[in-house]
Amino acid sequence: MVNFAQGEFMMLGAFLAYTFVSVLDLHFALSIVLAILVMSAVGVLTDRIIIRPMIGEPHFSVLMITIGLGFILRAVAGFIWGNEPKSLETPYAGKVFEFESVVIGYENIIIILGTIALCSALAFFFKATALGKAMQATSQNQLAAMYVGISVKRINSITWAISAAIAALAGILIAPVSLIDPQMGFIGIKAFAAAIVGGFGSLPGAIIGGLLIGIGEQYAGLYLPPGFSEVTAYAILLLMLLVRPHGILSSVQIKKM
């Protein structure tokens, strides 16, 4: 299952956290939890209303429908929160960590730590829990998963809840360094590029791809004329498709016939 609206989920999560923190004046940790819970509910709703009727349709239709969903969510966010960028107030904003000559902002440290924690949690979840394995099975072949007794519909709902929750967390992590506005979901496209460069369906691959694209972009911005840094991610993606179509750490196996 592919969700092109993942970036929009991220944006919604960040906006929700903003609402809880700045408008309703709740405690920061509580608002994060609330934002993640609300986003899981949004994920389940998306699955029930939009994705479930599409079970059994080709990948292409599911892809199109999530693109449509992304546009709807962006318009909804524009309607509720307006188009001016908002900034999320965090308790750790503005503080820096100093170690001899190295100075890192706390926001960045939290992003790195949060990413590592999230990735290890996910890796554990997919490797070691029955639910995680059921999800992998469902993603590989719905019919076969159904035959071995997995409730495909329930698993799909849970998957959507989890992925929306993760998107919300990502949105909250990134909110202090970039501003929150309805267009921030476009970063999701870059995330796709990273995932494909690294190898779809492989967590370490996604991290490697992300690093490759991020570093490539910084260097292109430094050494190449303007305009190149915006396309670096996509140029790397196209090159990678030429050389290794399924990414650095690919999980593709060609079926033997």
Partner 1 sequence: MRFIRKTSYHQDIQIFKHEGQVFWYTCLAVILFSLPFFLSDFYLGELTLVFIYAIAGIGLMLLTGYTGLVSLGHAAFLGIGAYTHSFFLGLGVPFLFSLSISVLFSSMIGMLLAIPALRVTGIYLAVATLAFSIIVEQILSHWVSVTGGYRGMLVPEPKIGNLSLKSHTTFYLICLAFFSWSVLIGLNILRSPVGRAMTAVRDSEISAQSMGINLAKIKTIAFAISAGFTGLAGGLLAHKIGYLAPDSFNLLISIQLLLMVVVGGLGSLHGAVYGAIFIGFIPQALALLRDNLPERLAQIPGLEPGIFGLILVLVLIYEPLGIHGRWLKIRSFFEEFPLYRRSTHKKQRTFLKTERLR
| Interaction site with partner 1 (CB under 8 A) | 1-2, 50, 53-57, 59-65, 67-72, 74-76, 78-79, 83, 139-143, 146, 182, 189, 192-193, 196, 200-201, 225-227, 230-231, 233-235, 237-239, 241-242, 245-246, 251-255, 257
| Residue 83 DSSP symbol | S
From CA 228, how far away is CA 8, in angstroms rounded?
25
Shortest reach from residue 254's CB to partner 1, in Å? 6
From CA 214, how far away is CA 108, in angstroms rounded?
14
Cβ(175)–Cβ(88) below 8 Å:
yes
Shortest reach from residue 102's CB to partner 1, in Å? 34
Q: In the complex with partner 1, which residue's Cβ is closer, 34 or 236? A: 236
What the block records as the tokens of 114 is 């949060």
Q: In the complex with partner 1, which residue's Cβ is closer, 90 or 156? A: 156
Shortest reach from residue 230's CB to partner 1, in Å? 5
Residue 30 is inside which H or E element, if any?
helix 28-46
Shortest reach from residue 191's CB to partner 1, in Å? 10
Comparing C-alpha atoms, which of 43, 45, 46, 19 is closest to residue 32? 19
As a whole number of Å, the CA-based R_g of the chain is: 19
Q: In the complex with partner 1, which residue's Cβ is closer, 37 or 76? A: 76
Q: In the complex with partner 1, which residue's Cβ is closer, 41 or 49? A: 49
Q: In the complex with partner 1, which residue's Cβ is closer, 130 or 257? A: 257
Q: Are strands 102-105 and 96-99 parallel, antiparallel or unpaired?
A: antiparallel
Shortest reach from residue 170's CB to partner 1, in Å? 18
* Cα angle 165, 203, 196; round to 5: 100
